[in-house]
Amino acid sequence: MEQVMSPESLNLAQNWKKWLQILLKARNIEEKPDRRASSGPCSGRSGALRCLSMKYPKIDPEVDKFLQELRERVQIGVVGGSDYSKIAEQLGEGDEVIEKFDYVFAENGTVQYKNGQLVAKQAIQNHLGEELLQELINFCLNYMALLKLPKKRGTFIEFRNGMLNISPIGRSCTLEERIEFSELDKKERIREKFVAALQREFAGKGLRFSRGGMISFDVFPEGWDKRYCLNILDDERFDTIHFFGNETTPGGNDYEIYDDPRTVGHSVQSPQDTVRRCREIFFPERANES
């Protein structure tokens, strides 16, 4: 069902877009090395794309159409920190998503689908062990219990296969409450301070932390960031992988894969920006289309 928003709410929402990333692997399209808005070497001929995620509205039909056109020329996939159900909520219905993309990497790639089939799934509890996992959960609960915010809702810790997602306000908050928290977080650095406390408490225990979206941050084992999905792609022997993301600065949940020498990293700001960049790379004859 189409969501109707007031002009004021729409303007706010457009300023607080959270994105999923879509990886694309091209076979025969040459491109000069390019890591705009970034440093480090890169080269190749494949790409990465990202789609809108704002409390999980559906993908824009025009973007969806473009992706399917793109799939006729390259192989495409999506990588996101969320679990598969949230990815599916954005990009299709149920199993439709794993049929529309050659690869779907949920939870940073710790849950992997290829050609419509589940091929691998990891479990954070098996990797960390129950003792460390409970220490981590208890610390987060105690920290949030002492945190005073204008509003708190529910689902403060979401347990996923490859990570814990920590939300000081709670993931069940409304869109308006998300925006309110994001504004406050920019001023008071709530998540940044929370992560700093975790880094001090769990130093040397093999944990990594990354912010993403509007209201939460992720905790995962060392090496289980979005680069994890590159492991399966390494075996596929693609010439090059392009990655497009918006959280591409250090500490952002796109940074590691964006800066990885195995990818060509692109920093983008919107779906329209992403489509434009993909046209430049994969459809040079259509690069000037709006």
Q: Report the alpha-carbon angle 279-280-284, nearest 5.
A: 85
Please indicate if the annotation marks 235 as binding a ligand: no
Residue 69 CA to residue 49 CA, distance in Å, equals 13
Distances (CA, A) of 265 to 40, 47, 127, 244: 9, 9, 29, 6
Please indicate if the annotation marks 225 as binding a ligand: no
In total, the chain counts a number of residues equal to 290
Residue appearing with tokens 């208890």: 138
Please indicate if the annotation marks 43 as binding a ligand: no
Q: What share of the chain is helix, strand, coil (3-state, %, to 5)?
A: 40, 20, 40
Are 24 and 69 a contacting pair, CB within 8 Å? no
Please indicate if the annotation marks 160 as binding a ligand: yes
Residue 120 CA to residue 235 CA, distance in Å, equals 14
Please indicate if the annotation marks 171 as binding a ligand: yes
Please indicate if the annotation marks 208 as binding a ligand: no
Distances (CA, A) of 175 to 14, 166, 274: 12, 17, 24
Please indicate if the annotation marks 200 as binding a ligand: no
Angle (deg, nearest 10), helices 190-201 and 130-145: 140
Please indicate if the annotation marks 258 as binding a ligand: yes
Known binding-site positions for Mg(2+):
246, 258, 260, 263
Known binding-site positions for alpha-D-mannose 1-phosphate:
160, 171, 178, 214, 216, 218
Known binding-site positions:
160, 171, 178, 214, 216, 218, 246, 258, 260, 263
